[in-house]
Chains A and B, each alone.
Chain A
């Protein structure tokens, strides 16, 4: 064994401390506890198997989250055509539009000025609210939104991976963004502007 070989036992311990974070991210993207567990287990296994390739140059978490993104996408591909992907709640978004806009297409209420929520002191709190709002998106909207914003996959590729038409994707993303905006207005920006 070479002197530079990473200490597998210590790597395994470090990986185990990352598990809760990985699980949270996987669940946020996949919206299914069993799929998330599988993605995380596969990630940890791959990390241990690839230990020789991890030379400590990249930060451990950066490296492992990179693996997780691939494993999560595998799960999405695997399960995407299962009927569970179609869930209720995607059609009520028109109610939100009615709340936001008048019949003539004007805003019901003047949008409030938002200030950058990522200042040093409040960042962690804001991220918690942001994640809660993402969790509250209907599952299909949440999945495509996270594919865009966390996995950073372009829209055309998402359509291919999920086997959906681009017009459907636009509708899902539009509703997700509108809903997320409303959730953040109510739970973060509204409170903090007073």
Chain B
């Protein structure tokens, strides 16, 4: 199996992680790559910010308070 090691592969895995669990090998590849890659580190942070924001949006939709 080809080891994912460029930013396109790694950021692809960081997006996929929102929808499926990564294999052990994939998780390892992400961790190792991010240790040395500032761009993918930032990208990961972005995915986490977006994850939190979507959760808040979802919760907002079922609140009674305020207009949608």
Tell me the A residues contacting B by CB distance below 8 Å: 20-21, 24-25, 59-62, 65-66, 97, 100-101, 104-107, 110-118, 123-124, 126-127, 130-131, 148-150, 152, 155, 169-170, 173-174, 177-178, 180-181, 184
Contact = CB atoms under 8 A, between A and B. Distances in A.
Task: Please give me the 5 A-B residue pairs with the lowest Cβ-Cβ distance, nearest first.
Answer: A105-B6, A21-B68, A59-B64, A111-B42, A105-B8
28 contacts: A20-B68, A21-B67, A59-B64, A65-B62, A105-B8, A106-B8, A106-B39, A107-B43, A110-B39, A111-B42, A112-B42, A114-B45, A114-B46, A114-B49, A114-B50, A115-B49, A116-B52, A116-B53, A123-B56, A126-B53, A130-B53, A148-B18, A148-B19, A155-B19, A170-B16, A177-B18, A180-B50, A184-B50
Contacts of B50: 114, 180-181, 184
Is the contact region of chain B dominated by helix, strand, or loop, or is it mixed? Answer: helix
Contacts of A115: 49
Chain B: interface residue count, which band? 20 to 34
Interface of B: 6-9, 11-12, 15-16, 18-20, 38-39, 42-43, 45-47, 49-50, 52-54, 56-58, 60-64, 66-68
